[in-house]
Structure 1
Amino acid sequence: MKHHDPSLLDNPVWFALATKQAQLAHGAGPARRYDRAVAPFAAVETQAPESLQALISLISPDESASLLSRTELPEVEGMHAERAFSLLQMVDEKALPIADDAGVIRLQTTDAAAMLDLASRTKPGPFGIRTIETGNYIGIGESGNLIAMAGERMRLDGFVEISAVCVDDGYRGRGIAARLMNILRGEIQARGDTPFLHVRDDNASAIKLYERLGFKARKMFSLYRVAPVATTA
């Protein structure tokens, strides 16, 4: 694998939306966010008050956005911020060849409804009807049903995030998640990029799986839900 600037991973949403995924972004100044049908994530270039206020201007009064931060968010006029939980960022440190993808489905936008249904049942993290637009998604089907999937979400210079790794409850324990991840990892590496991912710090079983596959813990983030402060008439 090539060596890329790891400091970009300190603010991955920003560097994704400011570069390789700019077409999916709302905002053009010091704050960006994904279209809400793609992903709930938003980012600021820095945590200066004017950047956070710019972010709030991108969020409707009836919604919130998810912001990753390695430090406590400052109080900013007009912004309500609530810390939800911690996310561990892990980076792939094991080189892999491209794996055999026999029987694996290359998912398309026409599969979005089935993907959303699987995600709603297995809860791998936020997933929307347009999430498939972020990158390559693969899956496995059985009897006409999608029973597992994994894909690429954040894409920035030199790094690609693996996300939406999920398997229907009736098919767990067969190594399906690891297989899908290894296919994606090999393909990402073949393009010259490094795979990374985020996982809740309390998801011990997933962390152990990722460690066995060759991912190493990098840094811990807090996930904040930020929203405009409600105003009274």
Structure 2
Amino acid sequence: MVTNVDESVLDDPVGRSLSGPHAHLARRVGRAATYLADVATFCAVSTDPGDGDWADLAELLGPGAFADMFSSPAVPPPGWEPVFTLEGRQMIWPGDGPPGAPDDEPGTGVVELGQDDVPEILDLVARTQPGPFWPRTRELGTYLGVRADGALVAMAGERLRPPGWTEISAVCTVPEARGRGHAARLVGALTARIVARGERPFLHVAEANTTATALYERLGFKTRGQVTFRGFTTPDRPRS
């Protein structure tokens, strides 16, 4: 059963994950935080950052480094060069419908992926480009897959974990296996797992990806709000 959870933590999903369930995967300087190398590139500052917070983040990441601010609305001071901007939306499962089939229900074809599956996972990511994924990203949560003739052809998993919520991410299927309902089964299986532990699922999708948005809406997800994903390069010179 889904418990009542605070939606406001979704305004800062990276920061609240790093200070909560993912604290063991975090690196920090002052009020700035980021994930361990090879886990994720996402980083965060406080919700009301001052110059000192940006200096802390620059020290944490190093000069000329990539600062993946995810959906943070905070904009760094001059000297931080923009790398990318991508419009998207944040969607939540409202908890007013069936969460989908459990992944262990006979006939789903869904299996849990472990450490031994990482080489295949990375190969699948390289072929499908679902978004940022690194050698240790699997440590963020549970990852489920679908195999055909022994080969991994589809995957989805858990990523950000602000308190009371779990983000579903890395939803991908190889081109030759699309149109068979794999993504729907995987998202449904993850939703069922998340709900079973009293949390609520949420996810992010690029605004231009109308196919994925339509799928998530069919599965019961609702748009909570629009977000802008941003990345920057830290200043070349560290603070003195």
Pairwise same-fold verdict (TM > 0.5): yes
- The percentage of counterpart residues that share the same residue type is 41
Of 113, 121, 131, which aligns to 1:115? 121
Paired positions, count: 231
Between stretches 214-223 and 161-170, larger displacement belongs to: 214-223
Other structure's SS at 1:154 match? coil
Equivalent position to 2:135, from 129, 140, 164: 129
Aligned-partner residue type, residue 32 of structure 1: A
Q: 1:28 to 1:53 in 2, by over 3 A?
A: closer
Q: Which runs of 4+ in 1 moved over 6 A?
A: none
1:230 CA displacement: 2.3
Matches within 5 A, 1:46-125: 46=47, 47-61=49-63, 63-69=65-71, 71=73, 73-76=75-78, 78-93=79-94, 94-96=97-99, 98-101=101-104, 102=106, 103-125=109-131
Q: Which moved more, 1:207-216 or 1:32-41?
A: 32-41
Distance 1:20 1:176 in 2: 28
Does the residue aligned with 2:37 lie in a helix, a strand or coil? coil
Where structure 2 has 5 or more consecutive residues not aligned to the other structure, the ranges are none
1: CA distance between counterparts of 2:205 and 2:218? 15
Q: Is the 8 A contact 2:113 2:144 kept in 1?
A: yes
* 1:227 Cα deviation from its structure 2 partner: 2.0
Aligned to 1:57, what secondary structure does the other structure show? helix
Q: Is the 8 A contact 2:157 2:168 kept in 1?
A: yes
Once the two structures are TM-superposed, the CA of residue 129 in structure 1 deviates from its matched residue by 0.6
1:182 aligns with 2:188: yes
Task: Give the whole-Å Cα distance in 2 for the aligned partners of 1:105 and 1:71.
Answer: 37
TM-score for the superposition, normalised by structure 1: 0.92
2:7 maps to which residue?
6
- Find the aligned partners of 2:100 and 2:120 in 1 and give their Cα distance: 29
Residues 56/95 of structure 1: CA separation in 2 closer, same or farther (3 Å cut): farther
Deviates more, 1:216-225 or 1:161-170: 216-225
* Matching residue's letter, 1:96: P
- Tell me, yes or no, if the aligned pair for 1:83 and 1:222 is still in contact at 8 Å: no
Alpha-carbon shift at residue 83 of structure 1 (Å)? 4.2
| Residue range with higher mean Cα deviation, 138-147 or 3-12 | 138-147
* Alpha-carbon shift at residue 99 of structure 1 (Å): 2.2
- Measured after TM superposition, the shift of residue 80 of structure 1 is 2.8
Unaligned runs of 5+ in 1: none
Larger deviation, residues 203-212 vs 51-60: 51-60
Would you say the 8 A contact 1:56–1:227 is kept in 2? no
1:151 aligns with 2:178: no
